């Protein structure tokens, strides 16, 4: 029985008794391909007008088998980066191209995930064998810069997956302190108004040197909160 090839990573599957004296070479190549799929990195330069087609050759290292791929080059039109059909695999892709044009990562015959002309960030993608699925869209708009045992340093917006649906903290598990700039308050997305008079509103609390102000974002009226000074300093 002759050697065969695995469906996704195109590893060499050796038949019993095959490759006497050379099976180690096939095994080592398979291990290197697995390393590519788990943690491999490659920078792929795109053609300015046609993009690129990633390779998936049988039994050898190929750029399409890498886990992390950085797309580079100056593009002058909307381009595609194409992988073969029937490949099931996850990718972390960085669009580091220059030029205000879209980049679409897709299969040969299916649909893909697209970076807009102004988006040069990362995407976590999954090829289901037919189409490319953008997994990163389900993770929300969070761009985490540094994660350590001391906490998370975000370098982008952190937003909920749906409007007026999720809480920050809970009644029995509260945040200790909240440090923020202006505080924006709105219940306009709720089906019902507040529990006092049933109305809805949108307000912004802002800090002044000696006063605290409230701005009604609907009527555009401005108010000053009356403060009574207490004797003694902190």
- Can you point out the beta strands (E) in the chain? 4-5, 12-13, 41-45, 52-53, 68-72, 79-83, 88-95, 103-107, 112-115, 122-128, 132-134, 144-148, 151-154, 183-186, 202-207, 212-216, 222-224
Confidence of residue 163 (pLDDT cuts 50, 70, 90): confident
Exposure of 67 in the CB half-sphere (CA atoms within 13 A): 9
Query: Residues 83-105: what's their mean pLDDT?
Result: 95
Domain layout of the chain by residue ranges: 40-139, 177-234
In this model, does residue 230 exceed pLDDT 90?
A: no
In this model, does residue 146 exceed pLDDT 60?
A: no
In total, the chain counts a number of residues equal to 234
Closest C-alpha to 7, from 37, 27, 46, 28: 37
Query: Residues 53-63: what's their mean pLDDT?
Result: 95
Query: Residues 66-78: what's their mean pLDDT?
Result: 97
Residue 135 pLDDT: 87
Query: Residues 141-167: what's their mean pLDDT?
Result: 66
Query: Residues 19-45: what's their mean pLDDT?
Result: 94
d(CA 122, CA 94): 4
Of 47-61, 127-141, 164-178, which gets the smallest average pLDDT? 127-141
Closest C-alpha to 42, from 51, 30, 57, 55: 55
In this model, does residue 183 exceed pLDDT 60?
A: yes
Residue 142 pLDDT: 46
Higher pLDDT, 102 or 165: 102
What average pLDDT does the structure give for the chain? 89
Q: Two tokens at 60?
A: 């050898």
Query: Residues 164-173: what's their mean pLDDT?
Result: 86
């Amino acid at each position: 029985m002759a050697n065969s090839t695995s469906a996704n990573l195109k590893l060499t599957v050796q038949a019993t008794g095959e490759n006497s004296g050379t099976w180690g070479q096939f095994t080592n190549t398979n291990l290197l391909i697995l390393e590519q799929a788990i943690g491999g990195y490659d920078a792929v330069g795109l053609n300015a007008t046609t993009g690129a087609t990633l390779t998936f050759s049988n039994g050898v290292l190929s750029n399409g088998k890498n886990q992390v791929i950085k797309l580079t080059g100056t593009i002058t039109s909307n381009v595609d980066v194409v992988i073969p059909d029937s490949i099931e695999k996850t990718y972390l892709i960085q669009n580091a191209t220059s030029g205000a044009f879209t980049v679409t990562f897709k299969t040969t015959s299916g649909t893909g995930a697209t970076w807009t002309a102004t988006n040069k960030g990362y995407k976590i993608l999954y090829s289901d064998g037919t189409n490319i699925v953008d997994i990163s869209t389900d993770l929300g708009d969070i761009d985490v810069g540094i994660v350590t045992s001391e906490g998370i340093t975000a370098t982008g917006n952190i937003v909920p997956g749906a409007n007026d649906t999720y809480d920050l903290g809970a009644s029995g598990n509260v945040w200790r302190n909240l440090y923020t700039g202006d505080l924006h308050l709105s219940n306009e997305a709720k089906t019902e108004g507040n529990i006092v008079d049933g109305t809805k509103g949108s307000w912004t609390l802002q800090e002044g040197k000696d006063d605290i102000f409230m701005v009604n974002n609907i009527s555009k009226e401005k108010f000053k909160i009356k403060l009574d000074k207490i004797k003694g300093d902190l």
